Structure 1
Amino acid sequence: MARPKRQDARREYLVAAARAAIVRRGLAFTRVRDVADQAGVATGTVTYYFRELDELFDLVFAEAVSRFCTAREEEVALREDPVLQLACVLRTGLPTEPEDELCCLLYEFSPQARRRADDASLRRQLYERQVALYRKVLETGAVAGVFDLRSPSSEIAANLVALEDAYGYHVMARTSMTRAQAERHLFGYAALACGTPRLLSAAGH
């Protein structure tokens, strides 16, 4: 890897190296030396720009909010049909593949939320914003007469986010669940919960 010279670019380069090292070795086993080796620099260079690996937590969750909340909200706003809105949200809540770096990092960092109040707050904000997005789509569809919700919107929304997390874990862990299977299960539950068989035909759109 060619090493950048400007300070901002150097820091971004080291953050990328730290992310890659954590994905490769796991958070519990990653040390400054691993980041330095990944970046091809001395350990002192890493500690000058990047004193704590925990600094990654805020950066990872900021990217997660951008991808799993902001980007999905913007995509929903481009569609008028609640079925297509819900299909869009469902499709974009899972890892793209087992090597999806951002999702790998989220699963690495999540256990810290039990021990650190700031980290738990970030995780809670991400979860609550995802639930709120699902609720908005579900309630919009119900008001329009497109959805016949079989449970309260808050319950369906929470279940969908929980299913995303659970299925996403199995995709990342390479168990018997593939991404395609996880997506089918998500769409299947949502179609039943919303009383909307048409959602299944929107799965590939």
Structure 2
Amino acid sequence: MARPRQQDARREHLIGAARAAIIQRGLGATRVRDVADQAGVATGTVTYYFRELDELFDLVFAQAVNRFCTERENDAASRADPREQLAAVLRSGLPTGPDDELCCLLYEFSPQARRRPGDARLRKQLYERQVALYERILVAGAETGAFVPRSPPAEIAANLVALEDAYGYHVIAQTSMSRAGAEAHLFGYAALATADTLLAP
């Protein structure tokens, strides 16, 4: 039997293989054999560590949640000025470019939410945490006078997350929006919504 550290390493290796398989084949088409081929192991190795493929998919999604929720929450908490908090969170809400793997994975999971209840639940949790983060920053900024929200903070927060999702898709798909253009538009809306002329990319 493998030692705990070896088991953890093998699980991480399989999670990485699942990420690569989903990027290559799409979430709906990825099977145990695809993960095994990516990892260079037998299918039995995959099912030994993950009895259900959905368990593996949940862990892949959890990595995206960590980046777009936990890391952003910690980044915001490390700053005292609401304006600095908002700017940092706005910047980290977009893909770094078309090859941003975690963002590509999120866009693979989203269309499946209608068919897969587990994906819908995870996507809902991700959305609600992102909105809650923005709302906390906006409320804090309003209390200090840094922001003068022109709509309810919850509404502005929901719009910011929606814009992240929409612009992020164009960055990944390389259609009509570059990363720089998406960031400029996102900051532009935030500045208008908060009446903060100092907020800038």
Of all paired residues, the percent bearing the same amino acid is: 74
TM-score of the aligned structures, taking structure 2 as reference length: 0.91
The question of 1:89 aligning with 2:89 is answered yes
In structure 2, the residue matched to 1:182 is 182
Task: Give the drift of 1:105.
Answer: 1.3
| SS of aligned partner of 1:95 | coil
Q: Which stretch has the larger CA shift, 18-27 or 37-46?
A: 37-46
| Alignment size in residue pairs | 197
Look up the equivalent residue of 2:125 and give its one-letter code: Q
Q: Please show how residues 43-192 of structure 1 align to structure 2 within 5 Å.
A: 43-192=43-192
Root-mean-square deviation (CA, aligned residues, Å) is 1.7
Q: Does the residue aligned with 1:120 lie in a helix, a strand or coil? A: helix
With normalisation by structure 1, the TM-score equals 0.89
Counterparts of 1:61 and 1:43, CA distance in 2:
21
2-side partners of 1:76 and 1:20: how far apart?
A: 30
Contact 2:170 2:176 in 1 (8 A): yes
Give runs of ≥4 in structure 1 deviating > 3 Å: none
Is there any run of 5+ residues in structure 2 with no aligned partner, and where?
none
C-alpha contact (below 8 Å) 1:113/1:123 kept by paired residues: yes
Q: Aligned partners of 1:128, 1:184: CA distance in 2, in Å?
A: 24
The answer to whether the 8 Å contact 1:150/1:193 transfers is yes
The 1-side partners of 2:86 and 2:184 are apart by 14
Provide the secondary structure at the position in 2 that maps to 1:199.
coil
**Distance (whole Å) between structure 1 residues aligned to residue 54 and residue 129 of structure 2:** 23
